[in-house]
Structure 1
Amino acid sequence: MPQDHFRDAAPYSLLGGSGAGGRGVSRDSFSDMGSMGSNFYDLLRSKCPHLLPDFSGVVAEGGVLSEKIPRGTTILALKYKDGVIMAGDRMATEGYQVSHRHIEKIYRTDDFSAIAISGAAGPSIEMARLFQTEMEHYEKVEGEGLSLEGKANKLAQMIRQNLPAAIQGLVVIPIFAGYDEQNGEGRIFKYDLTGGRYEESEYHATGSGGKDARNTIKKLYRKDMERSEGVRVVLEALLDAAEEDVGTAGPDPVKGIYPSMKTITKERIKDVPEEEIKSIYEALIERRRSG
């Protein structure tokens, strides 16, 4: 395949500049990248292994993981009439301390899918970014994107590759969801730390407050909900999780911090506006106050 085919791929965030930790990559390194096929991870491992995420430095001698590793907490996904809603609280923790109050846990993969992250924050964020780059690379090489099922399988492979780090405590447990253009419906996939992939038919939540969020959704969920009702159910689930789990943050109107939410439909991926989330939150609080 001619080298010119890959010139548009140069801005990949993992190929140089600040994303490469100051170690740039010459174009010659990728002169025969066409022979590597459409797997971007294998390409990096073969040509530029120093660009792959490496968290070995955070594991102490003897394989004991430091407690001061930021961890993302509660994420969830819920199917509604037109597609899927994905959401997450904004807090990361280090043991019993707050590490970050504004962390983003929902990452756009492409126009019709997204990944929500929980577990060790650093490896989770790196996996989300590498997954996005994998999808871009595949589309450039093959001339078309993977199906939603193919994307879910690819993420399972990446989680499996993280297993040695997971055994040492750097666990990455994402949720992947998107709109299946072929079937005309939203779909949700959950994973275990070995890369096992399982499809959920209605909703899923994971992270430290995942069980509490699932309990709330279980009571409120109904098939083919409208978008407004789905957003309300998601926010109520995160509120209940925050009340029961010390690692999950509820909305903070004083500091203006609210959960992040995205919808994925045939109209593509969109952010749920913060003003809408704030309005629904205030209505929920008022309802609880009035009994």
Structure 2
Amino acid sequence: MDHPSAETQRTLYPYVTGSSVVALKYKDGILMAADTGGSYGSTLRYKSIERLKPIGKHSLLGASGEISDFQEILRYLDELILYDNMWDDGNSLGPKEVHNYLTRIMYNRRNKFNPLWNSLILGGVKNGQKYLGMVSMIGVNFEDNHVATGLGNHLARPILRDEWHENLTFEEGVQLLEKCMRVLLYRDRSAVNKIQISKITEEGATVFPPFSLKTYWEFSAFKNPTIGAEGSW
């Protein structure tokens, strides 16, 4: 009989999950934002989970979905970067290569019917070239000037389509991300008001400390959501 530790463990259902990640290209590089909440079902169980991580010299990763699967992905990437550094050939993996690697990982696990329950955003800058892409839990992937995961796909990207332009300054990019995260906070029950923003430029990645969004809850629709609704009394 095999030892219990030899048993295969699979994530059959996401337990502790993080909500949307939103990212965009700006004048000098990539900006990314996510909140710090971790939900156990519909209960906000953890309030200080950081889901934005620098990868190697040129890349920045953001993840929504199952937190333990995200930790497993980070272990894969640690091995990838270590193996790359061991060559010591003066080159290092850029964001495009890391994104391609993640698409293969996610699609491979999907084909084994043992998916990693995450949506990932990978951005970076190498040799002056900005790169931003996403990959879903089944390996669907694309590149764009701005991307989002989860409900951010439905609530944040319309804002980004209206207001994004390629010459955004750092301050303008942060304001735009804060606007997106505020809308998500109002509309996504899994979102919290403590968010984290990170940037990556040619000089490297910076993950800023979490901070609280300024919010306004006095809208009449918030106080009485049935006002003006179809079929309301």
TM over 0.5: yes
Q: Cα offset for 1:209? A: 3.9
Output the aligned Cα RMSD: 2.4
Match of 1:46 in 2: none
Counterparts of 2:88 and 2:100, CA distance in 1: 17
1:139-218 pair list within 5 angstroms? 139-141=85-87, 143=89, 144-163=91-110, 164-166=113-115, 170-181=116-127, 184-200=128-144, 202-218=145-161
Give aligned pairs, total: 210
1:1-291 pair list within 5 angstroms? 55-56=9-10, 59=12, 65=13, 69-141=15-87, 143=89, 144-163=91-110, 164-166=113-115, 170-181=116-127, 184-200=128-144, 202-250=145-193, 258-274=194-210, 281-282=213-214, 285=215
List, as ranges, runs of 4+ consecutive aligned residues in structure 1 with deviation greater than 6 Å: none
Greater helix fraction, Structure 1 or Structure 2: 1
Which has the higher relative contact order, 1 or 2, with Cα contacts under 8 A spaced 6 or more apart?
2
TM-score in terms of structure 1 length: 0.65
Counterparts of 1:119 and 1:210, CA distance in 2: 14
- Could you list the runs of 5+ residues in structure 2 that have no partner in the other structure? 220-233
Q: Give the 3-state SS of the residue equivalent to 2:117 in structure 1.
A: coil
TM-score in terms of structure 2 length: 0.80
- Could you list the runs of 5+ residues in structure 1 that have no partner in the other structure? 1-22, 24-49, 60-64, 251-257
Greater strand fraction, Structure 1 or Structure 2: 2
Structure-2 change in CA distance of 1:120 and 1:79 (3 Å): same
1:235 maps to amino acid: E
Check conservation: 1:72, 1:207, Cα contact below 8 A.
Answer: no
